Amino acid sequence: MLMVQGVSKLFNPGTVDEKIALLNANLHLKQGDFVTVIGSNGAGKSTLMNIISGVMKPDAGHIYIKDTEVSQLSEYHRSRWIGRVFQDPMAGTAPRMTIEENLAIAYKRGKARGLTFGVTGRTRKIFREELSRLGIGLENRITAKVGLLSGGERQALSLLMATFTRPQILLLDEHTAALDPARAELVTTLTEKIVRELNLTTLMVTHNMEQAIRLGNRLIMMDKGKIILQVDEEQKKGLTVGQLLGEFERISGKKMADDRVVLG
């Protein structure tokens, strides 16, 4: 479903600020794979997400979504296949618009041009049904401005919007990191539910080691632009945070440096 093949990305090449963000990264996600991504500061996790979603182009290598090479396609052109939720609850939604207006924009994504953003009786019914799947009562507040929602509610809405058109790939970029523990847990539970129900192929960056082990069926670890460890479903069962950190030290020869790391 998603193939990252020999992808490299260098920032400021040939200058004192040269940074290797990705170096010959290879990754293959099958339909329905849910892969968590961990790594030290500056390991290249966000760059990997940005290159898959088309925010930036790789210097070398190829990205395929369902056998179609997308490496040189714009972010806009890939948006019909990719849903993304960011760390910042403000990033995925328009605060001055209502819940239903936000959903109308998400609904239009990937559909033919010319459709209006308007909310009709039929779409309102669909929106209510989709919102009720979240189980947090947003279906009763569809005319409320999104700016009035809590961070957790906004992330839940962002998640719904990102998955509304059943994307081929769902990218979750530390999407629970800015929430307090209770809201983070709520959004995590919703994530598991939506990914499972829609059988979405998902890549999720997290600084929470326990979450990285608990969620999904595979885990990858990055350091200095490389994927240094891939843990499969069997190996992930029974894995502990201590073992994971030990593996990082063994392979990279250093302790994991991450100022936001959460052990669980």
Interface residue with ligand ATP, options 21, 85, 136, 200 (CB under 6 A): 21
To ligand ATP, the closest distance from the beta carbon of 217 in angstroms equals: 22
Cβ neighbours around 180 below 10 Å, total: 11
Is residue 44 a contact residue for ligand ATP (CB under 6 A)?
yes
Q: Is 54 in the site for ligand ATP (CB under 6 A)?
A: no
Rule CB under 6 A: say whether 27 interacts with ligand ATP. Answer: no
Binding of residue 42 to ligand ATP (CB under 6 A): yes
> What CA–CA distance (Å, rounded) separates 38 from 213?
10
Residue from 1, 5, 19, 192 in contact with ligand ATP (CB under 6 A): 19
- Cβ–Cβ under 8 Å, residues 194 and 159: yes
> Whole-angstrom distance between the N-terminal and C-terminal Cα of the chain?
30
Q: How many residues bind ligand ATP (CB under 6 A)?
A: 12
Please identify, using beta-carbon distances, which residue of 41 and 68 lies nearer to ligand ATP.
Answer: 41
| 7/72 Cα distance (integer angstroms) | 13
Stretch that binds ligand ATP, among 11-19, 151-159, 189-197, 240-248 (CB under 6 A): 11-19
Instruction: Indicate the residue among 18 and 129 with the shorter CB distance to ligand ATP.
Output: 18
Comparing CB distances to ligand ATP, the nearer of 18 and 233 is 18
Closest by CA position to 68, among listed 164, 1, 135: 1
43, 157, 187, 215: residue in contact with ligand ATP (rule CB under 6 A):
43
- Token reading at 256: 């994991």
Segment near ligand ATP (CB under 6 A), from 34-42, 132-140, 151-159, 226-234? 34-42
11 near ligand ATP, rule: CB under 6 A: yes
Regarding beta strands 34-39 and 201-205, do their DSSP bridges make them parallel or antiparallel, or are they unpaired? parallel
Q: Which residue has the tokens 């891939």?
A: 230
Query: For residues 199-218, which are near ligand ATP according to CB under 6 A?
Result: none
Nearest approach, Cβ of residue 94 and ligand ATP (Å): 25
The one among 7, 25, 47, 220 contacting ligand ATP by CB under 6 A = 47
Q: Which residues contact 148 (CB under 8 A, 6 or more apart)?
A: none
Establish if 45 lies at the interface with ligand ATP (CB under 6 A).
Answer: yes
Burial class of residue 17, CB neighbours in 10 A (0-12, 13-18, 19+): exposed
Pairing of strands 218-223, 226-231: antiparallel
Query: Which of 156, 227 has the CB closer to ligand ATP?
Result: 227
Residues 6+ apart with CB under 8 A from 154: 89, 90, 92, 93, 146
Q: Which is nearer to ligand ATP, 191 or 206 (CB)?
A: 206
Shortest spacing between CB 82 and ligand ATP, in angstroms? 17
Q: For residue 204, report the phi and psi dihedrals to the nearest 5 degrees.
A: -130, 120
The footprint of ligand ATP (CB under 6 A) covers 11-12, 19, 21, 39, 41-47
